[in-house]
Chains A and B, each alone.
Chain A
Amino acid sequence: MVLQPSPRVEGGRDVAIEPVIEARNLTKRYGARVAVDDLSFEVRPGEVFGLLGPNGAGKTTTVLMLLGLTEPTSGEARVVGVDPMRDPLEVKRHVGYMPDTVGFYDGLSARENLAYTARLNRVPRSIATARITDLLTQVGLVDVAEQKVDTFSRGMRQRLGVADALLKDPSVLILDEPTASLDPEGVVDLLALIERIAQERRIAVLLSSHLLDQVQAICHRVGIFYKGRLIAEGSVRDLATEASRTEDVVEVGAQAHDGRPAGVEVITATLRGAPGVASVAPDPDAPDRVLVTGAPGIAGELSSALAAAGLRPIHLRTREERLDAIYARLVHAAAEAPVRPPRPKRSTTRSGPGARGTTPGRPGPRRARPGRAGRPRPDNHDDDPGDTAAGEPG
């Protein structure tokens, strides 16, 4: 058993560890609506991959296609080396799945619910009883094992869902919106649980969410998903680096010299023409402030511009680059792609050069690379998964 995933052998399919999830050009149409558009990605054993995107981006559809519960219009998937459309049972035998807003039979106890899942997976009763107790202990529900599930809170249900998905001893765990509608404490608990399971069991975890900053902590790699397309893929750090080089977002608040706060309109008017400023908008979180988007390191420029206009900056903070900011910008860019030039290409850019010119609005050249589908990335970044996986404590 290979404990440390070694980097991929470049340019070949004979990699040290095969991906356990492979999506190649997956497309799903419902009538005229395209739910998933030419999606390609891979997840390796021991890796936590976050599929991030707003509601309706096609995350659940993707997950259902990977499980063989929905037929792709075109493209194909491989899960644990099996085509989910050809042999869904084999896939379902190895994939633990927690649907978004997971439900249980309310009239049954937690243990009875899990026992049913165990029977459906043909886990022998002698093994099942001990395994259920073990899993309920892991998710912290062993004290309420005999209680009916209708008394459970959302967080307890989600944790029971994780136990349910692990019952078949899966090699892949697919969690659809695991943190949705949980309270902050519940989110932290659940994510810690998922992270621990991924490390202890060294299984691949595919995690879909629209709550980006919550899941970024535990994802080795993320794919940002918008309107059925993967618009960016890579580690959170890479995406952050890339995005922060592109532009800064600065919170600005200012006073007039008499000490009264300067109005948002005044600040906006002052800064709009300043060099390097791309846009100025009111800060939705603070009534007296504006958000300035502009070239990296623009904060200094803004300070002088304010001073020149006779205003005193009282608040000037460059926003930390978090995943949600990157995400918002990427989504914004994707939405406007046909009219706006895409993000500048850099060495860290996830998409290869050349494709944008031919297909505006489609940031991936995935079709242009047969055999390398799903890795539309320059070769010097192909060792990312190896790096991140190797960085885990075993």
Chain B
Amino acid sequence: MNASTPGPAGAARARPRPENRPPSGGWRIVAAKELADHLGSIRFVVLFVVLGLAGASAVYSVSQQITSVAAGVSTGQSLFPLLFTLSASDIAAATQQTANTPLPSFVTLISLLAPLLGIAFGFDAVNRERADRTLPRLLAQPIYRDDVINGKFAAGLAAIGIALGAVLVVIAAWGVIQLGVVPTAEDVARLVVWYVVAIVYIGFWLALATLCSVVMRRAASSALVAISAWLVFSLFGSLLISTVVGLLAPLSASPTNSEVIANGHLQDALTRISPDGIFQIATQAILDPHVTAGILTIDQRVAVVQQGAPGSILSLDQSLLVVGPQVLAIVALTVVCFALAYIAFMRQEVRA
């Protein structure tokens, strides 16, 4: 549009200009550069190794246990997802053995560590450009201002996707070898759906860290705030929730039904606030076709009881239906958080 109507000065100079393409897609250029930076960075390597080691050890200990109790598993259900959702101590408890490792399950470990991925690729996205004084130079190039933050967010998501995807594929393959069981198509589909949801969830942390990097001038304070949020939600979240629930809806020594329901409702309501809680629920429901009582909300449990006997196996689409609200909540959280970062960045003065 405007490229074809150069100003009077441009006309007077009449130089051939190679820049005839429309100015769209600036975010892709930014994203390509940022992704290259991420993939070559030390933080990527470190996170990749940490994630891989944690996942590998969890899956290894579980696979040892699973093979010892495989005979006890009923036919008609796949062992493969259990590799990711069960922890060694779960199986040990179920079979009255003593657990040899206190490791949590693969998905629990990943959902604990995943926010770190998001924070690592987002906490210095904008304030580093400020600190290095590259932001004015970058914004003086013919790209839209939102190309910068969009490109950075896209690059962060891509880096996370690559790290998580690689870890997942390698460990799944290794688990298959350990277990000697080939996953069914549905198993793979469940894993892929979980992978996508996990990326959106990590996207929430990426967006939060990006928001911190826009608002805070120094990368160190931005990282501290983002990590504090992670600690609160991931580590102390369940602790806080059970404390509050115990205070507001206490269970007596021999609890009545109404007490149990009130307690459960409050617990659900509070868990829904925590992104970590939502993701845990979504994870369990997506990966585990067994609808076990411990992982669903009261409402969903009631629905399951009404529709079929507990312990039945859900197909993937039914699992998704059950967990739809949680997935939507994760998407909404991510979108809102990114929107805040976007608006903050667009309204900011170029000079600090």
Contact = CB atoms under 8 A, between A and B. Distances in A.
Interface of A: 1-2, 17-18, 20, 45, 60-61, 64, 67, 69-70, 79-82, 87, 89-90, 92-95, 97-99, 101-107, 116-117, 119-124, 127, 161, 164, 168-169, 171-172, 204
Given A45-B13, A80-B6, A172-B9, A104 B18 contact: no
28 contacts: A1-B13, A1-B14, A2-B12, A18-B12, A64-B350, A70-B349, A80-B10, A87-B2, A92-B142, A93-B23, A93-B142, A94-B6, A94-B7, A99-B137, A106-B132, A107-B40, A117-B137, A117-B141, A119-B29, A119-B32, A120-B26, A120-B29, A120-B138, A161-B137, A168-B141, A169-B15, A171-B15, A172-B9
B133 A102 contact: yes
A305 B40 CA distance: 76
B309 interface: no
Given A64-B350, A80-B9, A121-B142, A104 B134 contact: yes
Nearest to A18: B8
B137 A89 contact: no
Given A64-B351, A99-B133, A69 B139 contact: yes
A122 B19 contact: yes
Contacts of B21: 122
Given A94-B9, A164-B137, 18 more contacts: A1-B14, A70-B351, A79-B7, A80-B9, A90-B7, A93-B142, A94-B6, A104-B137, A105-B37, A105-B132, A116-B29, A120-B26, A120-B138, A122-B18, A122-B23, A168-B19, A171-B9, A172-B9
Contact of A81 (B9, B33, B132, B134): B9
B12 A17 contact: yes
A93 B6 CA distance: 10
A45 B14 CA distance: 13
A22 to B, nearest CB: 11
A193 B33 CA distance: 30
B136 interface: yes
* Max count, chain A CB within 10 A of own CB: residue among B7, B8, B12, B17: B7
Given A45-B9, A69-B350, A89-B23, A107 B37 contact: yes
Contacts of B12: 1-2, 17-18, 45
A204 B134 CA distance: 24
A97 B140 contact: yes
Contacts of A70: 349-351
B143 interface: yes
A304 B63 CA distance: 106
A182 to B, nearest CB: 16
Nearest to B136: A99
Interface string B12-44: 111101110101001001101100010010000
B19 A89 contact: no
B141 A92 contact: yes
Contacts of B23: 89, 93, 122
A171 B13 CA distance: 8
Contacts of A18: 8-9, 12
B144 interface: yes
B133 A101 contact: yes
A95 B10 CA distance: 11
Contact of B2 (A61, A89, A105, A117): A89
A99 B140 contact: yes
B18 A102 contact: no
Contacts of A172: 9
Given A1-B12, A67-B140, A124 B18 contact: yes
A93 B33 CA distance: 20
Contact of A123 (B7, B13, B19, B349): B19
A369 B247 CA distance: 75
Given A81-B9, A87-B2, A122-B19, A69 B134 contact: no
B141 A121 contact: yes
A124 B19 CA distance: 8
Contacts of B10: 80-81, 94, 171
* Max count, chain A CB within 10 A of own CB: residue among B12, B143, B144, B349: B12
A81 B7 CA distance: 5
A362 B12 CA distance: 36
A121 B18 CA distance: 9
A120 B143 CA distance: 7
Interface in B63-94: none
A292 to B, nearest CB: 42
A156 to B, nearest CB: 15
A161 B140 CA distance: 12
B2 to A, nearest CB: 5
A266 to B, nearest CB: 50
Nearest to A107: B37
Nearest to B20: A122
A123 B15 CA distance: 14
B136 A69 contact: yes
B33 A116 contact: yes
A148 to B, nearest CB: 12
Contacts of A120: 26, 29-30, 138, 141-143
A306 to B, nearest CB: 52
Contacts of A81: 7-10
Given A81-B8, A171-B10, A93 B133 contact: no
Contact of A80 (B7, B134, B137, B140): B7
A162 to B, nearest CB: 12
A92 B350 CA distance: 15
A116 B132 CA distance: 16
B27 to A, nearest CB: 11
Contacts of B19: 93, 121-123, 168
Contacts of B13: 1, 45, 171
A78 B350 CA distance: 20
A100 to B, nearest CB: 8
A169 B19 CA distance: 10
Nearest to B21: A122
A264 B287 CA distance: 90
A89 B133 contact: no
Nearest to B32: A119
